[in-house]
Amino acid sequence: MTRLLYFAWVKEKTGIASEDVELPESVGTVADVIAWLKTRGPEFENAFAQSETIRAAVDQTHARADASVAGAKEIAFFPPVTGG
Amino acid sequence: MIRIQDGDFNIGEEIAALRVDPAGKLRNDIGAIVTFTGTVRDTLPEGAGEIFTLTLEHYPGMTEKELTRIEEEAHARWPLQASLIVHRVGTLLPGDNIVLVITASAHREAAFEAARFLMDYLKTSAPFWKREKGPDGEHWVEAKETDDQAAARWRQE
């Protein structure tokens, strides 16, 4: 099981803050996860419609679209950060 | 040292705490202390109304991990005796403190540069998100390209 987390407007669009999922075998990278998420319903399709504007973190480390998610315990999706 | 908290911080107290050793004695190896404070600015146009709040959401776990990582990088790149990052979360009002960065070194060059570096990296990698609320409703603050450019200048080839 992998925990998926959503933050800021990504969370507002998906409607959930986090969930535990079983990622399909074919999902190998962050980009694969996003493609899979978009098939799960209209809220997800809407949330990830402009996926180039969404950032990801695998096990709490920033990850690019081509990053592997093999063995990941936690994957988060969020807009570019605006702290400070 | 890094802290995430919703309560306010006191800049003078934090500087004072940084200048003493664990026994409470003033350190004699610090010659320069640089402090940066980020505060809430009311971005509503003139006359748009007084109701304005800024709410900071964050990713518990990753925020601590990222701030620790960038602090470690600052200590690796500059000779620092001590440093502190405090970042608030939750709902804030105009004029409130948001973030505090303190760097201490033997000489000022490292203290100034490390403080700048910490802020530039914090702005582009620490997982916080700001939501502004005004009389017309709420909206998410957008990341600025100037912040990415500021962080890029520290990249080492």
- For position A62, which CATH number holds? 3.10.20.30
pTM summary value = 0.93
pLDDT in tens, B19-45: 999 899 999 999 999 999 999 988 776
CA trace torsion A43, A44, A49, A50 (10° rounding): 120
Residue range(s) defining the domain that contains residue A72: 2-78
HEC string for chain B: CEEEECCCCCHHHHHHHHCECCCCCECCCCCEEEEEEEECCCCCCCCCCCCCEEEEEECCCHHHHHHHHHHHHHHHHCCEEEEEEEEECEEECCCCEEEEEEEEECCHHHHHHHHHHHHHHHHHHCCEEEEEEECCEEEECCCCHHHHHHHHCCCCC
By the CB < 8 Å criterion, does A3 face chain B?
no
pLDDT in tens, B55-93: 999 999 999 999 999 999 999 999 999 999 999 999 999
- For position B8, which CATH number holds? 3.90.1170.40
* Residue A42: inside a domain: yes
Residue range(s) defining the domain that contains residue B18: 2-152
* Residue B157: inside a domain: no
Domain count of the fold of chain A: 1
Pick B156 or A54 by higher pLDDT. A54
Domain count of the fold of chain B: 1
By the CB < 8 Å criterion, does B43 face chain A?
no
Verify whether the Cβ–Cβ distance B130 to A80 is below 8 Å.
no
* Residue A83: inside a domain: no
By the CB < 8 Å criterion, does B3 face chain A?
no
Verify whether the Cβ–Cβ distance B129 to A57 is below 8 Å.
no
* pLDDT of B49 above 60: no
